[in-house]
């Protein structure tokens, strides 16, 4: 079965259900847990999560509706420029507020509300190069 969801702007998000498909492999094909309770890592080439932009004044209400529907959600977290990349409180370094939850098929989903525009100084690490990517992929393949 093929399911289409209208996500606005003329765009669709599609999900598939295949009878007899292999079971999900949390921690490889997708994160094993929400980022607030476990490891967010997933394998190269897998889908880590899908984020949906929601208005900042609606994120709390949407989270409440999800919880009322029996869906476990993270607390509201703010992604920032700190060492841990998240904060429980909004401050100048924060750029997006997020709530995470799993969809019915195990895909990690995120509600994301931008708190400000990104700035050039938000990127503080050295850019990865093609050589970095080749070395990483070789190591991941056991080489």
CB atoms closer than 10 angstroms to residue 39? 11
Q: What is the DSSP annotation of the chain?
A: -EEEEEEETTEEEEEE--TTPPPP-BTTTB-SS-TTTS-----TTS--EEEEE--TTTHHHHHHHHHHTT--BPPPEEE-SSTTSEESS--TT--EEEEEEE-TTS-EEEEEEE-S---GGG--SPPP-HHHHHHHHHHHTT-
Question: Along the 143 residues of the chain, how does pLDDT read in single tens digits?
Answer: 888 888 888 888 888 888 888 888 888 888 888 888 888 888 877 888 999 999 999 999 999 999 999 999 999 999 887 777 888 888 888 889 999 999 888 889 999 999 998 888 777 677 777 787 777 777 777 76
Closest CA to 107 of 45, 41, 24, 39: 24
* Pairing state between β 49-53 and 77-79: unpaired
Predicted structure pTM score: 0.77
The highest-level CATH class for domain 49-121 is alpha beta
Question: Do residues 49 and 100 touch, judged by C-beta distance below 8 A?
Answer: yes
Question: Do residues 111 and 52 touch, judged by C-beta distance below 8 A?
Answer: yes
The domain limits of the chain are 49-121
Question: Do residues 96 and 80 touch, judged by C-beta distance below 8 A?
Answer: no
Q: How do residues 47-76 score in pLDDT, each as one tens digit?
A: 889 999 999 999 999 999 999 999 999 999
């Amino acid at each position: 079965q093929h399911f289409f969801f209208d996500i606005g702007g003329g765009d669709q998000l599609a999900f598939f259900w295949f009878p007899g498909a292999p079971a999900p492999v949390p921690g490889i094909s997708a994160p094993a847990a929400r980022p607030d309770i476990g490891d967010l890592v997933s394998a190269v080439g897998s889908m880590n999560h899908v984020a949906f932009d929601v208005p900042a004044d609606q994120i709390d209400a949407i989270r409440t509706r999800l919880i009322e529907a029996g869906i476990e959600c993270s607390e509201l977290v703010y992604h920032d420029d700190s060492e841990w990349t998240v904060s429980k409180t909004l401050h100048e370094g924060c750029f997006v507020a997020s709530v995470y939850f799993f969809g019915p098929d195990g895909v990690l989903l995120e509600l994301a509300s931008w708190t400000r525009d990104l700035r050039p100084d938000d990127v503080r690490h050295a850019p990865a190069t093609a050589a970095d990517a080749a070395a990483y992929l070789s190591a991941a393949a056991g080489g």
